[in-house]
């Protein structure tokens, strides 16, 4: 059974689990996620349901 801890911090979220650590920084229009699998950027258009995500590295 896996155990994970997630915590909201000013400007984002930090998580630690069995698979590693991750961090998310952003707001309503976009975010950047950093984790075990690399770096990913997400951009959203509020109110439309449209979003685009791209792996950066």
Over residues 11-24, the mean pLDDT reads 92
Cα dihedral sign for 7, 9, 13, 16?
negative
Query: H/E/C letters for each residue in the chain?
Result: CCCEEEEEECCEEEEEECCEEEEEEECCCEEEEEECCEEEEEEEECCCCEEEEEECC
Flag whether pLDDT at 23 surpasses 80.
yes
Over residues 10-38, the mean pLDDT reads 91
Flag whether pLDDT at 57 surpasses 90.
no
pTM of the model: 0.73
pLDDT of residue 28: 82
pLDDT of residue 50: 94
Q: What average pLDDT does the chain have?
A: 91
């Amino acid at each position: 059974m896996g155990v994970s801890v997630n915590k909201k911090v000013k400007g984002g979220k930090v998580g630690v689990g069995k698979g590693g650590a991750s961090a998310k920084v952003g707001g309503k229009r976009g975010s950047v996620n950093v984790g075990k699998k690399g770096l990913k950027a997400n951009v959203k258009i509020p109110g439309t349901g449209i979003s685009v995500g791209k792996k950066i590295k």
